[in-house]
Structure 1
């Protein structure tokens, strides 16, 4: 490889970017980053400049020879890149607000990456990621695409199915957050913890949990039946689990399983929040305003701890750890979104899955997990069928396919309600869904 790496971050004006910069600074002695290009759109100019200037101050404080570039020219940035990371939100936080609020009007859970909201985030995002892939094929064909943009599993599978980019890895902070949670429960170093992950993005299970190579799954399940030991995220309210249910489930659920196993409770909470005028998007918008006020301080040259109030704790740990392992051919085990290739026999061989994988210079090699346990298999398979149909709808812009995806999603109770939600959300997001409004379309 080259002596100095060129990293391109699309969505560089994100509030998460300081996490990423912190990670590259931390690993610089083994990951010689020479250039970081932060790319955004014109509407994100203010945020890009604020975050970019903070990034430059962080690098300067660390005394490292890393050049930070800010640009709206994606093609210029992509030339000869080694790694391209994506963390963008099509339609910005206003689109998220609509994704969360419109389904609630119909008594359906509104959530950013699950249910109708997740479907529409995919419909807006997938065409953009495919455009980025076409530019990468031309400008940096040997680069790795590290996708953190949600819904990460669907975006990864869309790249694998509808582009010529094979060097793609989808990444989420949920698995590393679960590992960190276990480490805190046992008061040990995170490096001693390993979880056998298998499933889909935001529907991944810990099939087994190890400390120093010894299984502690029974102890973990027993511990997390105590509400005080619940392992969750800033953006998901942990309600605790019924102990008998969790012991019978016999696998370690991720925080997003609250939306499936506690659907009624989560919907009631979301509706109450909605009535009080607050979706998660509004909370995040306020948090971001506070963060960007902090970021503007010319004396600030570190990632502020307030960033962890966002849902993306451990982002830099996950993203930079992955790039570091690929660059150094470390062959350690990390959970990523990658092509199944038979690792999970309950799911199609060519689908993207979230699974523990050996990470080397050749990318991820998923560990063979075999059949998913019968008690979780059907739910995962239902969600994969939704994902596949949703991806097809995003590419084709076909109304019927989008309606099918909406109806088979486990959050949506009927085709009639699915159609009402679909029609209102198509109208609300028309600006970002040209594939549905071309001649002869919706």
Structure 2
């Protein structure tokens, strides 16, 4: 009899949770489910999402056991996979991450620059806590973590829980690969094989081929030079707010800096920070966009389902990262040896880069975890940028572990988005006050 799996979604109150449930249902043929549980420390928020998903599951897969809880033992007992996407401090804190740096004319972004560092300082403890719960109550389970900022969280898990069964992933490269597949007339990114190196939200494609080995880079470069990613947008609700449309277009300028590679969109924050600040509203940031758009759409859909008592025509949508996380779970469960981008210790995969750095590279994934695919030596331009950024990430984690004000000041100063140590200190002091309920005490 085929094994069926038990999954806990940590971050049950997230707007992305319904998409994960949809994808799990859509892929029952290759990843059969016996139980789904939601876990969140925000009971009210989770209950809205969970009650809607409960109706959805009863209608589409009544054989799947479902529950939601704020109790760790209930949530993490008898689990095969934990799918973790938590946001410590919710969007209220994201808004501060973005608006405080902007006061000083510094990039305000949730995973890049001072905002990303602030978010990382909140996320480390939450992810470690969930990992410990999983290992206490289901020691054979795997955690698939895509909580942001993934680079800082991955470095923290490397330092603090080096032997844990955790895989750190990000959906942004997957979304961009779908756009590249659109550019060259393929139906899916899965029809491509890629070479990629970097840090999370800080990477480059250096090789893209179809399954027959034909080089797709020239055609993709032609699109990038003309329009960035803007001419490959799909008709989904994900990443369609105005700020994302501008980001996809700005990739044209990021690409121009090194036309031998295809860049991740997030590089605009590091390479064009003046442009980003100039085109940012200090009173209305991406956090406000999400609260006014995605939050209202998803929670509105949940309340509608609860009120009607049916999830028929519910309006839920499966996102790029939901499909990726199901692919990853399936690769482990079924030992498929699928090629996937993961955030892993370098250990020579990028031969001329820090062996301890948490790099984002293609890996082969199976039931025992992952095997790195060597990417070789990287150019000086990328190497220099990555060395600076990985130092920011390492100093941030050290600051959290040691409670060190000095190291966090150094981390913010070192970010390519910040103009000086003076400005870094001003931002840090304001972030400390804003995060007093979330960060460890700094001395």
- TM-score by length of structure 1 reads 0.91
The whole-number CA distance in structure 1 between the counterparts of 2:20 and 2:312 is 12
From the superposition, tell whether residues 302 and 360 of structure 1 become closer, same or farther in structure 2 (CA, over 3 Å): farther
User: Does the aligned pair in 2 maintain the 1:356–1:367 contact within 8 Å?
Assistant: yes
Question: How far 1:2 sits from its partner (Å)?
Answer: 8.6
Per-residue CA deviation, residues 17-55 of structure 1 (Å, 9 max, x unaligned), is 0110011101111212111110111xx323211211222
Match 1:295 to one of 294, 299, 302: 302
Report SS of the residue matched to 2:279.
Answer: helix
> Are 1:334 and 2:354 an aligned pair?
no
Worse overlay, 2-11 or 384-393: 2-11
Worse overlay, 416-425 or 346-355: 346-355
> Are 1:210 and 2:220 an aligned pair?
no
In the alignment, which residue of structure 2 is the partner of 1:199? 198
Report SS of the residue matched to 1:226.
Answer: helix
What is the 5 A alignment of 1:41-440?
41=41, 44-190=42-188, 191-212=190-211, 213-227=213-227, 229-230=229-230, 233-234=239-240, 236=244, 237-238=246-247, 239-240=249-250, 246=256, 248-270=258-280, 273-274=281-282, 277-287=283-293, 288-298=295-305, 299=308, 301=311, 313-433=319-439, 435-436=440-441
The whole-number CA distance in structure 2 between the counterparts of 1:301 and 1:383 is 44
Report SS of the residue matched to 1:161.
Answer: helix
User: Does the aligned pair in 1 maintain the 2:98–2:285 contact within 8 Å?
Assistant: yes
Report SS of the residue matched to 1:215.
Answer: coil
Per-residue CA deviation, residues 338-387 of structure 1 (Å, 9 max, x unaligned), is 22221112332233211111111111211000112223111111111111
From the superposition, tell whether residues 315 and 304 of structure 1 become closer, same or farther in structure 2 (CA, over 3 Å): farther
Superposition RMSD on alpha carbons, in Å? 2.2
User: Does the aligned pair in 2 maintain the 1:332–1:358 contact within 8 Å?
Assistant: yes
From the superposition, tell whether residues 47 and 378 of structure 1 become closer, same or farther in structure 2 (CA, over 3 Å): same
User: Does the aligned pair in 2 maintain the 1:47–1:292 contact within 8 Å?
Assistant: no
Report SS of the residue matched to 1:301.
Answer: coil
Worse overlay, 88-97 or 46-55: 46-55
Which consecutive unaligned segments of at least 5 residues does structure 1 have? none
User: Does the aligned pair in 1 maintain the 2:255–2:262 contact within 8 Å?
Assistant: no
User: Does the aligned pair in 2 maintain the 1:156–1:168 contact within 8 Å?
Assistant: no
User: Does the aligned pair in 1 maintain the 2:199–2:360 contact within 8 Å?
Assistant: yes
From the superposition, tell whether residues 136 and 318 of structure 1 become closer, same or farther in structure 2 (CA, over 3 Å): same
The whole-number CA distance in structure 1 between the counterparts of 2:254 and 2:409 is 37
User: Does the aligned pair in 1 maintain the 2:150–2:170 contact within 8 Å?
Assistant: yes
From the superposition, tell whether residues 180 and 374 of structure 1 become closer, same or farther in structure 2 (CA, over 3 Å): same
The whole-number CA distance in structure 1 between the counterparts of 2:73 and 2:397 is 25
Question: How far 1:429 sits from its partner (Å)?
Answer: 0.9
In the alignment, which residue of structure 2 is the partner of 1:10? 10
Question: How far 1:249 sits from its partner (Å)?
Answer: 3.2
The whole-number CA distance in structure 2 between the counterparts of 1:428 and 1:292 is 27
User: Does the aligned pair in 2 maintain the 1:159–1:165 contact within 8 Å?
Assistant: no
Question: How far 1:333 sits from its partner (Å)?
Answer: 0.6
| Alignment length (residue pairs) | 427
Which consecutive unaligned segments of at least 5 residues does structure 2 have? 234-238
In the alignment, which residue of structure 1 is the partner of 2:236? none
Report SS of the residue matched to 1:315.
Answer: helix
Superposition misfits of 4+ residues, deviation over 4 angstroms: 241-245, 302-308
